Structure 1
Amino acid sequence: MYVIRERFFAIGDDFDVLDEHGTKIYHVDGKVLSVRDKVIIENPDGDELATVHRHLVSLRPTYEIRIGGEKAAEVRKNLFTPFRDKFTIDVPGPDDLEMKGDLLDHEYVIEQGGEEVASVSKRWLTIRDTYAVQVAPGVEPLLIIGSVIALDLALERAAEKKKDKDDDED
């Protein structure tokens, strides 16, 4: 299980991804947030393991995850999903993953071929503004963590756009 602080991008801070014992597993460099919404995931020694960045030109929110310099996936919002958001984690080959559930409230699952491979929840944690990411054995944790970060970036960006639009209407 991995533990992530909620709403970390609102202030652009760096943050750590911890295991269930409170040990730092990954460090996420949030200070590189820019026009492209790029973050770097490092090991505790500061070595870059993965990046997540937003595609500038796309019809819907799309984020690319690179692990070890190689493109591992694109995370994008499905265009037509009545009543709820749904994101696809498009990996090379036929085994795409899907994020479904209450994405805004960090209560969702990630499925591959109809099988749950990860879950995200804040239900079991007593630490405020924190959520847990449970990854099934055999699934690349960096892919899941990167996807969760991409979703958070997309939701934060959408909230900022809505706020700016609301401010313009006032």
Structure 2
Amino acid sequence: MGLFTYETEIVTAIPPAKMFQAFVLDGDKLIPKIVPKAFKSVEFIEGDGGPGSIKKITFGDGSRFNYVKHKVEAVDKDNFTYCYSVIEGDALMNTLEKITYETKLEPSPDGGSICKNISKYYTIGDIEIKEEEIKAGKEKALGLFKAIEAYLLANPDAY
């Protein structure tokens, strides 16, 4: 098994507590609402959202993938950290055992937040991941984050 890791940072005007609530804690309800073409549904298969929970995300008709299953590894509401793994689905492309995402929201000096993310791709055997595949996934994640940010900016009383 190989491991490929990359880190990203996204700056937003939204404070950490508000962004964590919308993006992580309420994301399963909010994301299909604000990006309906990308996400068809999110359903819990096991658990209630805490560590060990497994949820199935079905993508919209325009997506190149059908579904993924996420396993929640850790949720820390006080420190605004969230960790989950993609453990099943066609997004693993028969080349990945799993993908683990570790997200932390920290306060920024201007009252907003900095979202720090570490993505770990666990490959099957000696398979190498193409940089363009990582870039495409990174751009989709950024687009999703920015969609939530735009929603919160347009709806300041939402959370």
| Band of TM-score, shorter chain | 0.3 to 0.5
Larger helix fraction of residues = 2
TM-score scaled by length of structure 2: 0.40
Which protein has greater RCO, CA pairs closer than 8 Å, 6+ apart? 2
TM-score scaled by length of structure 1: 0.39
